[in-house]
Structure 1
Amino acid sequence: MKNALLFVLLFATLLPTVSPWGTIAYYHANKEYIARVLCENRDKPQLHCDGQCYLAKRLKAQQDKQDKETTQRVQNLPVLQLFCENSQPFTFEPASVESLLAGVPVYRFPSYVAPLVGLFRPPKV
């Protein structure tokens, strides 16, 4: 049961890409009938069309139909807006340090001096 469902879904997925091949297979299977009855150039045997005009028209019609469906599908997609414009323009007004630190308590640490004698010495050559 799972295998049958898998093949049906696979066939449905691949059908649009296989569709032109079906038309070509139909043409080769019925080449004599197409050349004798459906060909536009059946009155002109010197052209050796053999129904290729019919095949070209069918493939072109199929491609146009697929393009039209794709265009309609793309046009009907919902638009997802990821960004929006800010309705109020941003203005930058510099503030003074005193106004920024007015309500903030300031913590003072005892001063610490690192021993510079061992850290900054020229290399010994």
Structure 2
Amino acid sequence: MRTIVIYWLLLTTLLPTFSQWGIIAHYQLNKAYIARVLCQNRDKPQLHCDGQCYLAKQLKARQDKQDKETTERVQSTPVLHLFCQPHVPFLFRPTWVSLVLANFFSYHLASPVACVTSLFRPPKR
């Protein structure tokens, strides 16, 4: 049972990789029908298209679908910030104003280590 699950997960993981090969295999198996019915250039036998236009269109459609799915997946992925940066505004003051205000205000710059230690604590016994 375990090997069946492993093979199933492997197959479902690798299936999008083999989708282009599936399109090519379908083309090779049905080449005569595609050249006779689905080819855009079936009225021009001198081009020797033999349904390659249909194959190119199918491969391009599959690639566009994969690109769209990838773009949607990337845009919907949440962003997780794993760092903490203190917000320190830059204030420009002339020197005589900062001398007067130095007695009234003080700034405490939090270190990034304080942010991390507040998140991660050892277990309590």
TM-score (norm 2): 0.67
Name the residue aligned to 1:95.
Answer: none
SS at match of 2:78: coil
The residue that corresponds to 2:41 in the other structure is 41
Residue 62 (str. 1) matches residue 84 (str. 2): no
Q: Cα RMSD over matched residues?
A: 1.8
Larger Rg: 1
> Which one has a larger percent helix, Structure 1 or Structure 2?
2
Task: Please name the residue that 2:21 is paired with.
Answer: 21
Matching residue of 1:73:
73
Cα deviations across residues 59-106 of structure 1 (Å, max 9, x unaligned)? 00000000100000000010112345422348xxxxxxxxxxxxxxxx
Aligned partner of 2:31: which letter? K
Partner of 1:53: 53
The structure with higher relative contact order (CA 8 Å, sep 6+) is 2
Q: Secondary structure at the match of 1:46?
A: helix
TM-score using structure 1 length:
0.67
Alpha-carbon distance in structure 1 between the residues aligned to 2:46 and 2:70: 40
Partner Cα separation in structure 1 for residue 39 and residue 11 of structure 2: 31
How many angstroms apart in 2 are the aligned matches of 1:89 and 1:26?
Answer: 63
Structure 2: gaps (5+ residues):
91-125
1:10 aligns with 2:10: yes
Q: Which runs of 5+ in 1 are unaligned?
A: 91-125
Tell me which amino acid in the other structure corresponds to 2:68. Answer: K
Q: How does 1:94-113 map to 2 (within 5 A)?
A: none
Paired with 2:35 and 2:88, the residues of 1 have a C-alpha distance of 71
Instruction: Return the letter of the residue paired with 2:78.
Output: P
